[in-house]
Structure 1
Amino acid sequence: MSAKANDYHKRLSDFMTEYVFPAEAEYDKYRDEAGPLDHTVPPIIEELKIKARAQGLWNLFLPAESGLTNLEYAPLAEITGWSLEIAPEALNCAAPDTGNMETLHLFATEEQRKQWLEPLLAGEIRSGFSMTEPAVASSDARNIQTSIVRDGGDYVINGRKWWTSGAADPRCKILIVMGRTNPDA
């Protein structure tokens, strides 16, 4: 590992010990009292996000932000898995946002980046990912049946999604929808 990756590894491990693990009881209590259908965010998450940003432990998954390679980020992702319900979101490294931010970073227009990527990178909003479909084994993207057809300056999306990761979060403001733009592909 590079010196930079080692530094992140130590700082993240310390952050987990000092802040995340002690927050688990408060997080669990909030979730227990709120019930399984409540998707509001426990206040402790926002407190941890402020601390993570202050310590430079924010958006670590994105090479443009952290300067880490995917190989260097992998052990850090493993560390966040030690508190799977809390740490990824506290560091703004939670799915489906990570993949959606990477997609927007690589392919969005400047206007789309301003509207969607910047608030995602800031942890102000969340996103969703629509892929699975009821009639096919759609975890394999080659089986996707939803069509996306250009109609003038718009796109028309036709299909049915079985599950959308992240959609229940009240902060979800954008969905990335998997579909076919070429029916012969």
Structure 2
Amino acid sequence: MINIRLLKAFPKSAQYIRLNVLFQWLGLLMNVILSASIAYLIASAIEQRPISWIVFVIMILSLCVRMICNDRAVQMSFASSSLVKEQMRERLFSKLSKIGPSYLKTFSTAQIVQLSSEGVDQLETYFGNYIPQFFFALLAPLTLFLITLWFDWKAALILFICVPLIPV
């Protein structure tokens, strides 16, 4: 789950995590706009109404903004994880240099190398992917609930009841 101590240990990564979640959320909104545009096109075709070119412009713009948001979310993920990796390795080597060669009494060189490579790389996944996805997973259903509520409160209520049952 969420390790508050780890998050507090790397406070500079929080800004990148927030931006990552923001860009994912904006991408979600662009998906909603794109889906609504497609639904409008289908309804217009079924009812044989003329289709405005504005709908196509909205679709293209939402696709472009979504693509930019996805790219920026990946950039923020990389920035967060690389910042954490750099700071963690600096702390580890600083600690080892303070201890001096006496660390060999407690840890083998192989353990130190493994910790500085694999252990730190696991933090990359945690800060770059897990934490942003965790917060986005909380924000996305709420956003979709509010959007659905605007269109149909009964469907929104069913979603509100059923979405928490998915993990179960």
Relative to the length of structure 1, the TM-score reads: 0.27
Relative to the length of structure 2, the TM-score reads: 0.29
Question: Higher helix share goes to which structure?
Answer: 2
* Structure number with larger C-alpha Rg: 2
